[in-house]
Amino acid sequence: MSSITLALSKGRIFEETLPLLAAAGIVPADNPETSRKLIIDTNRPDVRLVIVRATDTPTYVQYGAADLGIAGKDVLLEHGGAGLYQPLDLDIAKCRLCVATRKGFDYAAASRPGGRIRVATKYINSAKAHFAAKGVHVDLIKLYGSMELAPLVGLADAIVDLVSSGGTLRANNLEEVEEIMPISSRLIVNQASLKLKRELIQPLLEAFAGAVK
Ligand code: ATP
Ligand code: MG
């Protein structure tokens, strides 16, 4: 019997995916927030979940270690999308990718065509594309955590990061100076799985699509 594996990250993506799974008749047997299991069975013998770091989701699906996954557009842009179908915007985990600076920094001057700016981010590809399109020279500094600190201690003029409420920026005396793009999470499917397991995957796609609207 054929079966399918869905890759999810803990936290908001798992939480916001639960109603979509329910719409497809799928109920996880464990809660990854409290269980240490990395492979989680469901009420369906032919469906299991694997719990991965958000940035690793496209990689598991690309190589077919998971047939499907749910990943933020931010993560997909950095990954590049090779080997993946992206059939559905699930409209969950919504936020925006932004440029932020210290309050009072003259971003308009620094981001004029021909200007130069030092930017700390974990979103290197998206930041590079954004400033290239504006004709701004950008010195990129790769970070893995708490980008908000970088402008406060002089590591960078600006950060490119995800913002939802803006509370973390405000708490650190930073301000959003430009929106790069809105972000939400997408369903991703391994290209070979879609062909070989279509009879299992197609009904899932339809249930998810119905639950999104
Ligand atoms: P960690 O926070 O453990 O370093 P992470 O940032 O990769 O990991 P999450 O914070 O769970 O993981 O984010 C997962 C996805 O949720 C992101 O890729 C993004 O698409 C979305 N996301 C991130 N921050 C927010 C937010 N504040 N509001 C809504 N969605 C968000
Ligand atoms: Mg996070």
Q: Is 210 exposed, middle or buried (0-12, 13-18, 19+ CB in 10 A)?
A: exposed
What ipTM does this complex have? 0.95
Return mean pLDDT, the chain: 97
Query: Tens digits of per-residue pLDDT, 85-95?
Result: 999 999 999 99
Q: Which of 162, 165, 180, 184 for a ligand 1 pocket mutation test, highest count of atoms within 8 Å of Cβ?
A: 162
Query: Tens digits of per-residue pLDDT, 47-95?
Result: 999 999 999 999 999 999 999 999 999 999 999 999 999 999 999 999 9
Ligand 1, atom nearest to 10 Cα: 11
Instruction: Inform me whether the pLDDT recorded for 198 exceeds 80.
Output: yes
At 41, is the secondary structure helix, strand, or coil? strand
Query: Tens digits of per-residue pLDDT, 126-180?
Result: 999 999 999 999 999 999 999 999 999 999 999 999 999 999 999 999 999 999 9
Cβ partners under 8 Å of residue 174, min gap 6: 100, 101, 102, 103, 148, 151, 152, 159
Q: Enter the tokens of residue 16.
A: 């916001």
